[in-house]
Amino acid sequence: MSAHPALTAASDAALAAYRDAVSRYTREQLRAVEMVGADGTDTMFVDVVVEDAVISAATKAGVNVLTEERGFVDIGSAVTLVVDPVDGSANAAAGVPLSCFSATVAVDGEFTESITTWLHTGLVWWASRTESTFRTSGCTDLASAAVSVLRPHERNWDAWSRVAREAKRIRILSCSTLDAAFVATGAVDAFLDAGSDTHRLMDIAAAVVLVGASGGVVVDAYDRPIEFDTDLTRRWSGIVAATPELAASLQEKVAG
């Protein structure tokens, strides 16, 4: 793995900070709301602890950081890490072993490589736009696909139900970056937000690199470009799929 040094430094810092936090604090302390993040959502204590360690490591490595809690930390570099310090914060705080650190390198706004680290196991998935050791399942048919989804909301219940009725198998892991890694490795055929516009850039940026280099695709359900932007109010309904054909089928189901 020839990862950017800022990626490995940030990943190592996140893993160490997370493991230290779960050994020192109770679950009640870990899930306590500390602040409202830059993305407008509540920030748990576990997020703050890990994010602080990540920002310190990344800026020492000479790169900017874009993260959901603190927003854009600009040190004047052409390189920015798009970071989700703890994806699956509720899982992490509750002791459910389904949460990840993820970061994506953006050079002058272009995504070039990414890393996803499973915080409970230390397992790492790395890829660049041109290099991946993983391959998707190659599944093209929704009726034979195992699909992971975000939990449904009232606003997207109909679209969520259409996907659930058509797919062979449905899973809800509540960790988008882990779901995407499973698509890249062929363990799952697709993962999506079925039209609820829940995804932030850091939820799916790593998948753009990892899954794209592994033979799959990452698109928005409504065909909005997934691109670097420091505006954390932007949202997507990401579809991460083993093939373009499967992604198109999922877009059709979301659209109704």
* Residue stretches of the annotated binding site for Mg(2+): 68, 84, 87, 203
Question: From residue 5, how far is each of 46, 47, 60 by CA, in Å?
Answer: 24, 22, 11
Pairing of strands 64-67, 42-44: unpaired
DSSP per-residue letters across 48-95: HHHHHHHHHHHHHTT-EEEETTTEEE--S-SEEEEEEEEETHHHHHHT
Q: Is the distance from CB of 69 to CB of 51 less than 8 angstroms?
A: yes
- Under 8 Å between Cβ of 179 and 207: no
Cα 139 to Cα 216: distance, rounded to the nearest angstrom? 10
Token digits of residue 200 = 């932030």
Query: Which of 83, 113, 104, 118 lies closest to 1 in space, CA to CA?
Result: 113
Whether 87 and 102 have beta carbons less than 8 Å apart is answered as yes
Rg (CA), the chain: 17
Q: Of the candidates 137, 50, 34, 124, which has an alpha carbon nearest to the alpha carbon of residue 85?
A: 50
Q: Give the residue ranges of the annotated binding site.
A: 68, 84, 87, 203
Q: Which residue type is seen at 8?
A: T
